[in-house]
Structure 1
Amino acid sequence: MTDWLGPAQPFERSLLPPAGESVGHPGAKGVVHVVDESAYYKEYLEPIDDPGHLDELIAWRRSLPAGDRAVLDAHCAWPLRRVTDGGRTTGFLMAPAPADFWADMLGERHTVELQHLVHTAAARRLGLTVPDRTERLRLVQDLAELLALLDSHGMIYGDVSEKNVLWTLRGTPRIYLIDCDNARRAGSPNRNAAMARNDAWRDPLLGPDDMPDADSDRFALAVFFYRVFYGVTVSVDQGNGTALLPDDAPHLPTLERLLGAGLGSVRPRPAAAQWAAALRDADPAGVAAPAAAAPVRRRPTKMFASVAVGLVIAGAVAVPLVIQSIHAGPTPAPAPSASSAPAPTVAPSPSPALLDRKEALAAWAAGPVKIRVDHYLSYLDRAEKRSDDYTWVHLRTSVTNKTSDPLDLTSAEQNLVLVMDTEPKLVDGDATSFQMDGLVATQPLFGAGFSDGCAITSDDGTEHDITWTGKSVAAGSTFTSKHVNGNGITYWFPPISSKATDDVTVAPGKLHILGIGWRDAYGEMQGFTPVSAWKGPNSQKAFLSP
């Protein structure tokens, strides 16, 4: 086995063996190839001319004390050595994720990702063992201790998300971070980093062009605890000042205070070291769910109690943090505040009835967000090598806002979702997929988010960027565009089975697509348009027309 680490100097691409099989999903920045059992090579889609951030990350790891470096290596696919070709940086070498973080999923070997902790129904169908609350607490503790180590050295990870955190229950429950080339030293730019696009994880206090910082890592840790420990898929509403907890949530006052402060809109938020200490002190016996507990149906408007979002300073809470009458025994009094008023107590609502597919689609179509597909292009893209074949679904989409408030369109890749009757397999590792909540188990529905930054070449050789430019649409207004680089969106799938030897259009129904919907930040569907209402024909000429 070759020692790929070697000296700190860059490694010439020509000295690597021919590119081996790719692993994982192609990301926004590059593809990961197997070098051998001890090393992976992440090859950027485009070489970069400014490798300073990679050199800094590599040198920082080498400068760590041996104990800290061992912890980092056990938890992170950290850049180990830069790879160059003709003086330009083409990627870097890193260690593969340890075997404990891989699993057989329906006959295929995959990494076990954070999404499998959040979307447990899909995880069980893949044959994965879903952790109990005690194990989930330990997973959160492991991430908190890792982020505390990075924070102690002034390092920002900056990209906690469902695709970038792996986990295992083998031995001690623990996590493993990938895409570590997005990390940076505090105060040091890394303009090559991929910005977090998922509003469920991105700190809302960051501006559109702001880089992640230490406090946004703290926000992401709070979201990780919220979604992993409580097993919820909804997001915090900072404007409303509340987070939402399941009715069967155990009562953990210290962690609830950290959660409220960590999700809050006031900086500084609680540091990872505070979280780690509180998680170490939490009594696992006190957080185990009762054996006879009924499953929680995730209906945030009725089935969740709220926790006020606040600020923790030296262990004190600056605004009330109240869980509304959902726990057995007395509810602790809120911490004092200069302007606090007693919070109302709300008894849990009855569990809502689960819907079948027909009922769910009808209910979503009646929602206040109206979606119109002005043009679409759905086709099998044949390449010279069959391994490079893909199926694409390009849409030109208009959104009408019939709510009473402005509708944020900046994270539409999470909101404009294809609704499908089978679990989607997406090629883009940054695109989201999930199972819809609130349906009967025998009639599940699934959602798929779109990919960003695609292009198609027309018959005359012109390349057309397919991009989404929507920012916001006022109440009662419509966002649309006459150009594919305005309201264009793309969903990227593996190739379908076909005898065609050239590109061929594919009916969306053949891909198990039922339509397109609008899913809000709480996981609630607010609109739906079936495939039958999409404006045809399914052709490149129609799709590119104004």
Structure 2
Amino acid sequence: MRSAPSRMSWRTPAGTTRLLEFGYLLRPPGAGFRTAPQPTPGERRTLALSFARAVHWFHTSGIVLDDISHANVLWTLGPEPGVHFLDCDGFGFAGGPATQPRAETPDWTDPRTPHTHGADIDSDAYKTALAIGRIVSQDPYVVPGQPLEPVAGCLDDRYAATVRRPFAEAAGERGTRPPARKWCDALHGDTLTPPDAGQPPLARRLTARSRTGSGTGSRSTCGGRAGGA
């Protein structure tokens, strides 16, 4: 399996190296990671946008992510803010069977999708709202339907209003959750294009890896990354 890029890690005062998991981004610095990098409020919004763009890219490639959580996404501030997905064994084709038994992380589950239902883009949409809401608020437990209070300086009044709207909508019934593209518009207002037609589809690359890859003990990484604005 490929290793995560070195820019997605940080060095502790003791000299050990740790991956920059989302968990370090979603809560104020505490014991054990006070020296971990922390984004500025503006970089925090860009990281949320990078995450939304990456999910949108996967979905337009026909890929369902499923186990989106604080431990399965890495982030970096250099050379620009961006994200990287780990443990992609459970990724699957939208509408197709899962490649692995479904796994969910506590505090990252979709309350309207039974565990037996299987992963789909609608469930990804709910977890995308969880991730973006928690990035901009630096609150690891906020969920759609609760008030969203962004970190000071992360979102101006206009952005705050456009982000709170899809966050609230994500608490709705299945089939009504905002897709990743709506989050891209809310965070930046950019117009996204489909994946490059000349690039081999990500689905094909993931399938090939699942058939030929041999684990080395490191956490699997699928190379999914999106840069900042």
Residue 162 of structure 2 is aligned to residue 254 of structure 1: yes
Aligned mates of 1:102, 1:233 — CA distance in 2: 20
Higher helix proportion, which one? 2
**Higher CA-based Rg:** 1
Q: Secondary structure at the match of 1:205?
A: coil
Aligned mates of 1:210, 1:167 — CA distance in 2: 30
Does the CA-based 8 Å contact 1:195-1:211 persist in structure 2? no
Aligned mates of 2:151, 2:47 — CA distance in 1: 20
Aligned mates of 2:128, 2:49 — CA distance in 1: 10
Select the residue among 115, 128, 143 that pairs with 1:208: 115
* Aligned amino acid, residue 148 of structure 2: L
Residue 67 of structure 2 is aligned to residue 159 of structure 1: yes
* TM-aligned CA deviation for residue 246 of structure 1: 3.3
1:265/1:95 Cα in 2 relative to 1: closer, same or farther (>3 Å)?
same
* Aligned amino acid, residue 128 of structure 1: A
Q: Secondary structure at the match of 1:216?
A: helix
Q: Which residue of 2 aligns with 1:14?
A: none
Higher strand proportion, which one? 1
Does the CA-based 8 Å contact 1:183-1:193 persist in structure 2? no
Q: Which residue of 1 aligns with 2:134?
A: 227
Aligned mates of 1:135, 1:204 — CA distance in 2: 30
Does the CA-based 8 Å contact 2:43-2:81 persist in structure 1? yes
* Aligned amino acid, residue 149 of structure 2: P
Q: Secondary structure at the match of 1:278?
A: helix
Q: Which residue of 2 aligns with 1:101?
A: 8
* Aligned amino acid, residue 177 of structure 2: R
* TM-aligned CA deviation for residue 281 of structure 1: 3.0
* TM-aligned CA deviation for residue 262 of structure 1: 2.1
Does the CA-based 8 Å contact 1:182-1:194 persist in structure 2? yes
Q: Which residue of 2 aligns with 1:218?
A: 125
* Aligned amino acid, residue 61 of structure 2: H
Alignment of 1:347-386 (within 5 A): none
Q: Which residue of 2 aligns with 1:393?
A: none
* TM-aligned CA deviation for residue 115 of structure 1: 0.5
Residue 53 of structure 2 is aligned to residue 133 of structure 1: no
Residue 77 of structure 2 is aligned to residue 174 of structure 1: no
* TM-aligned CA deviation for residue 235 of structure 1: 3.2
Aligned mates of 2:151, 2:128 — CA distance in 1: 22
Does the CA-based 8 Å contact 2:142-2:148 persist in structure 1? no
Aligned mates of 1:153, 1:248 — CA distance in 2: 32
Alignment of 1:239-388 (within 5 A): 242-246=145-149, 250=155, 251=157, 252-281=160-189
1:96/1:191 Cα in 2 relative to 1: closer, same or farther (>3 Å)?
closer
Q: Which residue of 1 aligns with 2:104?
A: 196
For normalisation by structure 2, the TM-score amounts to 0.73
* TM-aligned CA deviation for residue 100 of structure 1: 0.6
Does the CA-based 8 Å contact 1:117-1:123 persist in structure 2? no
* TM-aligned CA deviation for residue 171 of structure 1: 1.4
* Aligned amino acid, residue 8 of structure 2: F
Aligned mates of 2:72, 2:31 — CA distance in 1: 17
Select the residue among 109, 114, 118 that pairs with 2:26: 118
Compute the RMSD of aligned alpha carbons.
2.3
Structure 1 portions without partners, runs of 5+:
1-93, 283-428, 430-546
What's the CA shift string for 1:352-395, capped at 9, x where partnerless?
xxxxxxxxxxxxxxxxxxxxxxxxxxxxxxxxxxxxxxxxxxxx
Aligned mates of 2:181, 2:36 — CA distance in 1: 31
* Aligned amino acid, residue 214 of structure 1: I
Aligned mates of 1:193, 1:119 — CA distance in 2: 30
Higher RCO structure, 1 or 2 (CA under 8 Å, sep 6+)? 2
For normalisation by structure 1, the TM-score amounts to 0.32
Residue 55 of structure 2 is aligned to residue 147 of structure 1: yes
* TM-aligned CA deviation for residue 122 of structure 1: 2.2
Alignment of 1:525-544 (within 5 A): none
1:191/1:97 Cα in 2 relative to 1: closer, same or farther (>3 Å)?
closer
Does the CA-based 8 Å contact 2:25-2:135 persist in structure 1? yes
Aligned mates of 1:233, 1:114 — CA distance in 2: 10
1:220/1:247 Cα in 2 relative to 1: closer, same or farther (>3 Å)?
closer
* Aligned amino acid, residue 132 of structure 2: F
Does the CA-based 8 Å contact 2:10-2:37 persist in structure 1? no
What's the CA shift string for 1:232-269, capped at 9, x where partnerless?
13332x7xxx3123386653211111111123334231
1:129/1:226 Cα in 2 relative to 1: closer, same or farther (>3 Å)?
same
Aligned mates of 1:248, 1:262 — CA distance in 2: 20
* TM-aligned CA deviation for residue 136 of structure 1: 1.0
1:207/1:247 Cα in 2 relative to 1: closer, same or farther (>3 Å)?
closer
What's the CA shift string for 1:105-152, capped at 9, x where partnerless?
232111110000112222784411211221111111111111111111
Aligned mates of 2:31, 2:176 — CA distance in 1: 35
The number of residues matched between the two structures is 185
Aligned mates of 1:189, 1:99 — CA distance in 2: 33
